[in-house]
Amino acid sequence: MGLPKDIEKNFVFDLPEMKKMIRDFQGQMENGLKGEQVSMGMLPSFVSRPRGTEKGDFLALDLGGTNFRVLDVRLSGVREIEVRNSFAVRMPEHLRHGAGRELFSFIAGTLKDFLSKNNIRSLRRLGFVFSFPVQKTAPDSGTLLSWTKDLTASGVVGRDVSELLRRALEENGVENVRVSALVNDTVATFLSAAYRHNDADMGLILGTGTNACYPENTERIGYLENKYRYFPEMIINTEWGGFASLARNDFDRRLDENTSRPGEQTLEKMVSGLYLGGLVKIVLDELVRKQELFKGGDGDAFLAAEFETEDISRIEADCSEKLSGVDDFLREKGVLFSTHADREILKKVCALVSKRAARISAAGVGAILSRMDPGLKNRHVVAVDGALYRHHPWFGPRMQDALRELFPASSGNIDFVQAKDGSGTGGAIAAAISGR
């Protein structure tokens, strides 16, 4: 017995659905730029494209959904970037869900230790890469609208996160750092690619969370104050994880009910690394309970085991005839006996969930680029960062397949460039741009 057809049907995201998503997505982009309430953010970054001539030594702090990084970056002025020193640490769980003051004190203390260890004493401009929805009011300040990626630190929503960082730096005795820029990780990824590539047109994050940004003509941003229209264009942070015009199935709804923010971040819960593993586990657990999987007696062991998004990548990478790699994985989870049919079902469910995620992502990319260039006549570089895109063996190819379906005559004009560590180096570039 193979996978039940009703499960397969639940995760189909075909060409008509992709085209519908593009129409709905572009409609929300247009309305969001007018200042209307939409499910996406369409937030101004107050940052323009780099010229590639920015030069000097800068610092970057990169606060993501899972990790926190500090980088010492040198910009050459001729489109070359050197990360001279860096430090990364996984965010402790008690800080993710504790008091915001403690979170920012941890960030400042980590930066202080980094400066001391690397003997950085001169005054440095710093770019703060903050991977959460922020309503910016200037290049170096912005108010947190809501936490995402399952962070819940108290006392931060509704506050200026740059000011919270400045206060923490002062309390920790850090005097030689000036917070010069605040950017989202997606914007930072774009800046890192655009510093090197003239034709970079989009930044994309496919990791713990997901988001996209692009440069918009300021004349088309209806809510922008006139004093900021000296920018010929401004990078817009779409916050596309909140896009809500997607049909959810029962498994999506069950996943959503068990998150910290039910009813929010619809697209993110169907695409990002924080949620895909949990979605696969819900499907597989139902098959186990219906005795359609692991009927040999080890179903209880699987029900008790954890399942992460990186497990999807590992399972889908196994192309051996007997799926021996999947068997090894199951044995690690306590499932000591599995049939070849069991292993095929496991791999099929992973493929269904991740393929839908890739096709949703491709439709979002298509919506943004075809709005910028309706005929896709020009070359467009999409800068991508994130562990999901880097580690899943078929995520990128599946996105490209979907784009070929959507734009059979012009998808070849879309190039994906991996911008590993782009969010960190982009923070330094934002700090350099702010000094112009």
Element housing 234 (H / E): strand 233-237
- In this structure, are residues 193 and 381 in contact, taking their beta carbons and an 8 Å threshold? yes
How deeply is 74 buried, as exposed, middle or buried, from its count of CB atoms within 10 A (0-12, 13-18, 19+)? middle
DSSP string, 1-44: ----HHHHHHT---HHHHHHHHHHHHHHHHHHHTT---SS--EE
Residue 89 has which token pair?
């640490």
pLDDT, one tens digit per residue, over 407-433 is 999 999 999 998 877 778 999 999 999
Domains and CATH numbers, the chain: 50-196+421-434 (3.30.420.40)
Measured CA to CA, the distance from residue 234 to residue 219 in angstroms comes to: 10
Return phi, psi of residue 288, to 5°.
-65, -45
Question: Half-sphere exposure (CA, 13 Å, Cβ side) for 4?
Answer: 12
CB–CB of 93/150 below 8 Å?
Answer: no
Of residues 127, 112, 117, the one with CA closest to residue 173: 112
Active-site entry in 72, 136, 140, 149: 149
Distance CA 306, CA 174 (A): 41
pLDDT tens digits for 18-46?
A: 999 999 999 999 999 999 999 998 988 88
Task: Give the chain's residues under pLDDT 50.
Answer: none
Of 62, 160, 185, 252, which is the active-site residue?
Answer: 185
Instruction: Give the position of tokens 């001391």.
Output: 116
149 classed as catalytic? yes
Instruction: Report the pLDDT value the prediction gives residue 42, as an integer from 0 to 100.
Output: 93
Q: What distance in Å separates the CA atoms of residue 96 and residue 215, rounded to the nearest whole number?
A: 31
What is the model's pLDDT at position 34? 92
Q: Which residue has the tokens 């430090």?
A: 87
How high is the pLDDT of residue 164? Answer: 96
- Are 295 and 289 in contact by the 8 Å Cβ rule? The answer is no
pLDDT for 150:
74
Which contiguous run of DSSP H or E holds residue 429? helix 422-434
pTM for the predicted model, two decimal places? 0.89
* Interacting residues of 187 by C-beta distance below 8 A, sequence separation 6+: 45, 47, 203, 213, 235, 237, 426, 430
Is 185 annotated as catalytic?
A: yes
Q: Which helix or strand (DSSP H or E) is residue 275 part of?
A: helix 273-289
CA 392-393-399 angle, to 5 degrees, is: 80
Distance, CA of 136 to CA of 145 (rounded, Å): 10
